[in-house]
Structure 1
């Protein structure tokens, strides 16, 4: 029997690329969206799921298990971006990004784990970000939400290993998707102390996304990971410098690394 895969946030971008690729490899894939539409254009079944609403998570997972009798792989991909100086960003928006990127991902994990424990097997991949490994200026809240998910992935991996379940995190760098359009952007306030540098960095962020890697590279990475017998806990998918920046943070003194980042962001 084909392995059954659930991918959250699969209506576009990285999630859709992973879903299409896995279908081509023979997997039975269910993708999710908050409001599925144009489903005839997808080679996989797209079902409703909002990571902020427990009832929709439960309904979607119950639907898959009733139909397939199992759930082999969860790709926790749904998420949102946020930019802005910490001082200028509304706290309600900070909480919103944690509710989606952190608590939403956890709630989906909690809903699939009973079935995976029952079948004594399962694979959970939490999609984080290379930004999770460093506090990036004007993206601090995004970095924090994804960094928190990296740590929870480590903890959950240890807790569920005895049930035959693997839990890993995959951290993408910049990819050419529509993620920038879905971000919450703190406005560039006229009276902000950060106005000029923040606007400059918004332009840089959008340029990085536009020139990013093709999302099919993430799809290939996910396919490879779920076919490894003994997977690592952390995976990174990005260009050389993005991955090398993580290495530099490990070996350089804190203030030296901070200076490198500040120079990069023209601060």
Structure 2
């Protein structure tokens, strides 16, 4: 069945691949981005929208409704990945992370959901991360925002249980996107050589994994399958086994102190 779909953060990476895959599957897809000039050589309909601006979101949703009469599927994909030591992170820096990765999701969802509830049908897919399921060093504001998104998604699902609107979370591992090149990193300002070395080592591994990550088209294919399901699952993991399912298995088996040491060891914090 042909559906009207809104994908946020569609200018690159997972969002772009997802929007292209869904359009190729026969759906009507609007790909939203603050940078519509980056939406070239695409199959979907470009839509200028800043998810951190209420008026921009309202205008974007009204554009779709005027043209299509409804939105069947909302895919909250837009996000940024900031890095820095939490012990030296300002509230302003943390807010920047949350404005996009959490409050942006709330803003767009609140604008779309009343229409879905009225029609008694709809699907919201929130793109989380494996970082929304366990902590990682030196990308702590990103982890915190994804944890918030996880809680939001679970609670939203409970509230919508009897409305006909489904809520699904997708947790990707590392995929090749522009996060590495566009990441804002806090400079290390403390006079502490050991912590500075650990910070540098951890970020080096984070970015190496991203650069060597999977093709985001894999996520696009998965989301296309999810959209086609009559009753999607609450959660879908996607990515390398050692980044997604394995850590959760180990986390369930080990005491939290041992699991934390294991993760730190992977990032050369010993």
TM-score (norm 1): 0.96
SS of residue paired to 1:161 = coil
Return the alpha-carbon distance in structure 2 between the equivalents of residues 245 and 183 of structure 1. Answer: 25
Cα distance in 1 between the residues matched to 2:247 and 2:205: 17
**Deviating 4+ runs (over 6 angstroms):** none
Render the CA deviation track for 1:75-113: whole Å, top value 9, x for unaligned: 000111011111122221111101111111011110001
Deviations 1:45-100 (A, max 9, x none): 11111111000111101110110011110000011101111112222111110111
1:192–1:65: structure 2 CA closer, same or farther, 3 Å change rule? farther
Give the aligned partner of residue 60 of structure 1. Answer: 60
Gaps of 5+ in 1: none
* Distance in structure 2 (CA, Å) of the matches to 1:253 and 1:88: 28
Aligned position for 1:249: 251
CA-to-aligned-CA distance 1:210-257 (integer Å, 9 cap, x gap):
110100110011111122222221211110111210221122111110
Q: Which residue of 1 aligns with 2:232?
A: 231
In structure 2, the partner of 1:127 is: 127
Residues 51 and 107 of structure 1 are in contact (CA less than 8 Å); yes or no, is this contact kept in structure 2?
yes
What's the counterpart of residue 157 of structure 2? 157
Which residue does 1:101 correspond to in 2?
101
Q: Distance in 2 between matches of 1:12 and 1:231?
A: 25
1:259 to 2:261 alignment: yes
CA distance in 1, matches of 2:255, 2:207: 29
| Contact 1:79-1:100 at 8 Å conserved across structures | yes
- The match for 1:203 is 204
Within-5 A mapping of 1:134-173: 134-173=134-173
Give the deviation of 1:190 after TM superposition: 6.7
Residue deviations 1:141-196, cap 9 Å, x none? 11110011011101101111212100111011100111112222111337345211
Q: Is the 8 A contact 2:5 2:74 kept in 1?
A: yes
Distance 1:163 1:128 in 2: 23
1:29 is aligned to 2:23: no
Q: Who is 2:188 aligned against?
A: 188
Work out the CA distance in 1 between the residues paired with 2:238 and 2:247.
Answer: 13
> Gaps spanning 5+ residues in structure 2: where?
none
1:240 and 1:38 mapped to 2: Cα distance? 32
Match status 1:79 vs 2:79: yes
Counterparts of 2:99 and 2:38 in 1: how far apart (Å)? 27
1:3 CA displacement: 0.5
* TM-score when normalising by structure 2: 0.95
In 2, are the aligned partners of 1:188 and 1:199 still within 8 Å (CA)?
A: no
Decide whether the 8 Å contact of 2:11 with 2:39 is kept in 1: no
Instruction: Work out the CA distance in 2 between the residues paired with 1:192 and 1:7.
Output: 43
Displacement of 1:26 in angstroms is 0.5
Residue pair 1:175, 1:215 contacting (<8 A) in 2 also? yes
**Distance in 2, Cα, partners of 1:173 & 1:182:** 18
